[in-house]
Amino acid sequence: MRKILYDLKKNPLLFLFLAPGLVFFLLFKYWPILGLSMAFQEYSPFLGVHGSPWVGFAQFGRMLSDPDFIQVTVNTMLVGVCYIVFFFPIPVVISILLNEVLHPGYKRIVQTLVYIPHFISWVVIYGITYALLSTDGGAINNLLSRIGLDPIPFLASKDWFYPVMILQMIWHEGGWGTIIILAALTSVNPELYEACAIDGGNRFHRIRHIVFPAILSTIVILLLLRLGSFMDIGFEQILMLVNTANRPIAEVIQTYVYRIGIVQGQFSYTTAVGLFKSAVSIILVLGTNSLIKKFGGEGIF
């Protein structure tokens, strides 16, 4: 509180800048958060928040005693980890490589092409995936049978779920993720490159000591933000991919709740699950943030 009063006195203009955003957050983010009380009720839209009965932690009890839910939570976390390990570096790598391209025209063309998939809906992407990977007429399996191998059920097997999902994700989001990083790259002083070259450094020195540090803070922020939505990663994509064969590992919290909660209008349960997800995410974000600060970096907080 003291800090706020201090700023009001010493930095009033800054507060003015902050004002619209503050109003926004209070109105449209914090006021609705009161609705999280639904998680402790047996909410019925007709009875509303005031009329619906209170059930304490019953919804959470239901959640934790559902054997499917535990499995689904594990799946969700595995998907998240996969994403961070296998996908997250990709836009960084592509941005750095693009940065090394000398020919501005080529750079522009590649830049424009790689982010197109972002606009294609997951339904269409699944259709394309199907055309490529199905065992009946799929392009890849046709190739395999031509060279005498057995067809592989890419889409209907547990083993192939992760590879297919990651490849799809890379294809869909890899280019889009470069936008923010490329913007950060523009902050590098060209004189630094010249200095590096004069000092006898080659390309890899340049990348390691100049390019990478310049975008490091951005990468850290992006990572932390990703952790903020860790439990939601891949919803629409997985909704298309999940089927009877891969359900034990493919079903994530969001698709599970979509099937049994939202569609049936069970708001309390859905809200309780949402709270659970949020709790996990905030722990991840704050935990990683502290870790980063311990290593001398700057977190978001």
CB-side neighbour CA atoms (13 Å) of 287: 8
Sites for another protein among residues 256-295 (CB under 8 A): 259-261, 263-267, 270-271, 274-275, 278, 281-282, 285
Q: Cβ 192 to another protein, closest distance in Å?
A: 9
**Identified binder of another protein from the candidate list 70, 124, 149, 291, rule CB under 8 A:** 124
Q: How near is the Cβ of 131 to another protein at its closest, in Å?
A: 5
The single residue among 55, 135, 162, 249 that binds another protein, judged by CB under 8 A, is 135
Size of the site for another protein (CB under 8 A): 122
Instruction: Say how far apart CA 272 and CA 266 lie, in whole Å.
Output: 10
Residues 142-161 that bind another protein (CB under 8 A): 155-156
Among 70, 85, 128, 291, binds another protein (CB under 8 A): 128
Q: What number of other Cβ atoms are within 10 A of residue 97's Cβ?
A: 12
Q: Site residues for another protein, window 160-179 (CB under 8 A)?
A: 171, 174-175, 179
Nearest CA-CA partner of 213 in 202, 201, 224, 205: 205
Rama region for 296: left / alpha / beta (φ>0; ψ in -120 to 50; rest):
left
Among 130, 160, 162, 235, binds another protein (CB under 8 A): 130
What are 80-84's contacts with CB under 8 Å, separation 24+? 80/230, 80/231, 80/233, 82/162, 82/165, 82/166, 83/166, 83/169, 83/226, 83/233, 83/234, 84/223, 84/226, 84/227
Report the alpha-carbon distance of residue 184 to residue 202 in Å, rounded.
22
Taking the complex as a whole, the smallest distance from the CB of residue 135 to another protein amounts, in Å, to 7
Do the Cβ atoms of 45 and 273 come closer than 8 Å? no
Report the alpha-carbon distance of residue 226 to residue 281 in Å, rounded.
Answer: 9
Among 183, 208, 287, 291, which residue sits at the site for another protein (rule: CB under 8 A)? 183
SS3 helix, strand, coil % of the chain, rounded to 5? Answer: 75, 0, 25
Provide the Cα torsion 37, 40, 43, 49; round to 10°: -30
Q: Which is nearer to another protein, 85 or 128 (CB)?
A: 128
- Is residue 180 at the binding interface for another protein, with CB under 8 A as the rule? yes
Per-residue contact flags (x/-) with another protein for residues 218 to 257, judged by CB under 8 A: x--xx-xx--xx-------------xxx-x----------
Is 237 within 8 Å of 173 (Cβ atoms)? no
Residues 61-120 that bind another protein (CB under 8 A): 68, 94, 97-102, 106, 108-120
Considering only 105, 136, 146, 294, the residue that binds another protein (CB under 8 A) is 136
Which residues ranging from 32 to 61 are in contact with another protein (CB under 8 A)?
Answer: 32-36, 38, 44-48
Find the shortest distance in angstroms from Cβ 205 to another protein. 11
Choose one: 12-20, 71-79, 81-89; the region binding another protein (CB under 8 A).
Answer: 12-20
CA max distance for the chain: 79
Q: Which is nearer to another protein, 75 or 271 (CB)?
A: 271
